[in-house]
Amino acid sequence: MDRVDPIAQWRPAPKAILRRIAIVTALTALGLQLPAGLALAFSETPYNEMLRLGSGWSLLATAGLVGVFAIEDLAAWRRRRREVWQLTASALIYDGPEGHGQVALSDIKTLRKQWLSRVVVTLQNGQSVVIRDLAHPAEVVAQIQAAQTAL
């Protein structure tokens, strides 16, 4: 491993996972409740009582799904919270529960911000590495690119 002091260091940010949970919750609720709301708004009188009963169950099912998604995301973050990514003058180093890894900066082909909290590092050989749950992924991309140009 590269024994040089790191230029930068990143860990999964709780803020990023909470933002992800909020977005997934909002999109799931909107996706599942919008059809029920539209059905109630444009329903005919004979079916109105049945739709009201169905919308109550739909709300309960939506709450259950949102809860499951939130628990799953929290569990994934809990597994990854001990990950540490370090940037040195010559390499990007991973240290976490899945093991240790190192990529030379010269082996990095492209860097791009993805979703709201990820950075995808594409290597010269076509493999990709994802740095997840970052509070400021654009800054991470800029720091890695600056280290690459300093080579």
Helices (H), 5-151: 14-41, 48-80, 137-149
CA gap 80, 90 in Å, rounded: 25
- Residue 84 pLDDT class (50, 70, 90 cuts): very high
- Euclidean distance between CA atoms 31 and 57, whole angstroms: 15
Cα 85 from chain centroid? 16
> pLDDT-derived band of residue 92, with 50, 70 and 90 as boundaries?
very high
Q: What is the DSSP string of 46-72?
A: GGHHHHHHHHHHHHHHHHHHHHHHHHH
Q: Which tens digit of pLDDT belongs to each residue from 27-77? A: 988 887 777 677 667 666 566 665 666 666 777 888 888 899 889 988 988
pTM: 0.76
- DSSP letter for 5, please: P
Q: How far apart are CA 127 and CA 43, in angstroms?
A: 52
